[in-house]
Amino acid sequence: MSAVQERALSDGTVWLSPPTEADIDTIVACCQHPSIGEWVTIPVPYRREHAEAFLTDLVRPGWAGRSPTWAVRAAQDGPVIGMIGLEAQDVSAAEVGFWLVPEQRSRGLMSRALGLVCAAGFDPATLGLQRISWRAFVGNHASAAVARRNGFHYEGMLRLGSTQRGLRRDTWMAGRLHTDSGLPAPEWPI
């Protein structure tokens, strides 16, 4: 698998750029929100060393390994308000993961961010993916709504399908193919 060139994405309302050391304190502050720790597989409590390891161990090598991560911002040079990334499953598929601070929810920012990431992921000049998967712990209706709005088709529930801090949890699954329209997907039971 060849590396992905680091690049920013924007639609003029939301800006995505690779997080840097300058974002560490903001990432730590964001990850203090209980709702993020409830739904995301981050350490709790989240400390500065966790953000440093996130940048060193995941973000930097991720771009080289076709697993790009972007900080979500509400302005071009604004602070981090969320995170979104693709984790390569193989050369033609990846899984998306994301979080957004509570104060910025219900504004459509994460839906826009996911649209940008899907467009980049499916673009033959960027990653050329054929499939992007999404999963979330059962009960994460906000994440499910973002995925559904971006054309992800619900594919079922895995009983105790994921782990979070050593505990197994039921997991919802969905996927979007490069041939899907990206319009809201019908028939989500949740």
Q: Give the tens place of pLDDT for each residue, 126-177.
A: 999 999 999 999 999 999 999 999 999 999 999 999 988 889 999 999 999 9
Least confident among 22-26, 35-39, 171-175: 35-39
Domains of the chain: 9-177 (3.40.630.30)
**Per-residue pLDDT, 64:** 87
> What pLDDT was estimated at residue 187?
84
Residue 103: is it exposed, middle or buried by C-beta count within 10 angstroms (0-12/13-18/19+)? Answer: exposed
Q: Using DSSP, state whether 104 is helix, strand or coil.
A: helix
Q: How many other CB atoms are found less than 10 A from the CB of residue 150?
A: 25
Residue 97 has pLDDT above 70, yes or no: yes
Mean pLDDT (whole number) for 59-84: 95
How high is the pLDDT of residue 26? 97
Mean pLDDT value across the chain: 94
Task: Please give the single-letter amino acid code of residue 69.
Answer: T
pLDDT for 189 equals 86
Closest CA to 182 of 93, 107, 114: 114
Per-residue pLDDT, 4: 75
pLDDT at 86 over 70: yes
Q: Report d(CA 24, CA 51) in Å as an integer.
A: 6
What pLDDT does 75 receive?
94
Q: Which amino acid is at 154?
A: Y
Confidence check: pLDDT of 2 > 80: no
